[in-house]
Amino acid sequence: MIKQPIKIKELASSERITNFSEVISGYTEEEAIKEAKRCLQCKNPTCIPGCPVGIDIKKFIYQITEKDYKGAYFTIREKNNLPSICGRVCPAEYQCRKSCVMSKKGLPFASSEVINIHFLERFAGDYGMKKNLVAPSNKDKKLSHFKVAVVGSGPAGLCAAGELARVGIKLVIFESLHRPGGVLRYGIPSFRLPRDILDFEIDYLKELGVEIVTNFIIGRLKALEELLTEGFSAVFLGLGAGTPAFLGIPGENLCNVYSANEFLTRVNLMSAYKFPEYHTPINIGKHVIVIGGGNTAMDAARVALRLQKINGISPHTTILYRRTEVEMPARRLEIDHAKEEGIKFDLLVQPQELLGDEGGYVQKIKCLKCSLGEADSSGRKRSVPIEGSDFEVDCDLAIIAIGLKANKILTSVTPALETDNYGDLIVSPETMQTSVNRVYAGGDIVGGEGTVIEAMGMAKKASQAIIDCLSK
């Protein structure tokens, strides 16, 4: 057996910071087979329960060793209808790979020698995409006269639509933005998830008969109750967590202080990097500071650094995080890529105030140094500010990336939908049904910010409950 993992090819960091091309190029056939042959084919595979949708990992990896790529693609698609997307963005080191028997115990994420399950999934997903393979549908005539509405076209909405369409239910997705995809479109940059991959999956749904209505806000242009009285037998809500959290410190309303969501949406969705060809500007600075340690912070920093380079500014982007790298919730791969690209990490630092110039533009950030204390309820060690350790950093563009909260556009005008203290929807854990009959929910609007595959796991559960309900 080959002991060491087969390395994935990546663009050199000096080249990749000059553009938005995909950084990782994926396994070749030969590499995929070699990596797949490292799998021990355990009798009781522990990786499968680590996957939120329970993909038969052992089987699809075996199929790759047998060169049965079509079979591998269909095995994955049985449980996951966005394989090429998950193969690129899934934080597998915290999920399936972490629970693999090869992973060293006691680490918060999978050790590096574990099989690269996500890269193999990407290989099979891309094979299916290139060959235009269509998974066998499971149409049920009895269900074909039902119509279901999906609100939101992020991974939860897309997954629910796929699950329901494949049994023959008519689907309409309502999306408030002008393009579908949710965070996959406006948040995750194209150098991690090329847009042709997302477009392929959306077109796949359209071919299954799913209708997508964009620029349509449920709760503004149409009420939830209207959907139920206008012929939809059930509704799935995949509203996401699109509201940015702020630090609550002085200076956050200065010019050139962005939430990461606004910054990324301007660039990824509104093509601000092509201003003035596109009409959304972005005022990229010489000293960009990104505050936070999650995926959003890494994406914002990597986008900012590229914009500096593209605009002829000497790249100078720093991440400020109040704990250490071990506690950072971002994917390990993204942290490594950010470092390779030249992003500086200023750790154990807590911002106190954003300071502006006479024109009202951010100029500096006043910070305190921190130490690590006891673990908090999330299991991560608390950061404890050190009195009298104040210092200032130069900053002419600040990006706040400290978390996201529930999107309340619909829930704020629909009192019948019960929410918790965070504004997240309360659902039955067995069926994902909300407090309103025939209305189900999943994704980040249930339980807060999670991952793409967790959102899809909830959407699958809700879809099954909808199918069971309509089949009665």
Residue 116 interaction partner, one of ligand FAD, ligand SF4, none, beta carbon < 5-8 Å per kind: none
Q: Which is nearer to ligand FAD, 351 or 447 (CB)?
A: 447
CA 463 to CA 442: how far, in whole Å?
10
| Residues in 261-320 that interact with ligand FAD by CB under 6 A | 264, 295-296, 299
String marking each residue 133-162 x if it binds ligand FAD according to CB under 6 A: ------------------xxxxxxx-----
Rounded to 10 degrees, the C-alpha dihedral 7/10/14/15 comes to: 160
Tell me if 55 contacts ligand SF4 by CB under 6 A.
Answer: yes
Q: Which is nearer to ligand FAD, 159 or 257 (CB)?
A: 159
Tokens of 9: 């090819």
Distance of closest approach, residue 110 Cβ to ligand SF4, in angstroms? 10
Distance of closest approach, residue 427 Cβ to ligand SF4, in angstroms? 22
Distance of closest approach, residue 221 Cβ to ligand FAD, in angstroms? 8
Distance of closest approach, residue 319 Cβ to ligand FAD, in angstroms? 14
Which residue in the set 36, 96, 330, 455 belongs to the binding site for ligand SF4 (CB under 6 A)?
Answer: 96
Q: What is the C-alpha R_g of the chain?
A: 23
String marking each residue 108-127 x if it binds ligand SF4 according to CB under 6 A: ---------xx--x------
Residue 171 interaction partner, one of ligand FAD, ligand SF4, none, beta carbon < 5-8 Å per kind: none
Q: Which is nearer to ligand FAD, 126 or 299 (CB)?
A: 299
Residues that bind ligand FAD (CB under 6 A): 89-91, 151-157, 174-177, 182-183, 187-188, 217-219, 238-240, 242, 264, 295-296, 299, 331, 404, 407, 409-410, 443-445, 449-452, 455
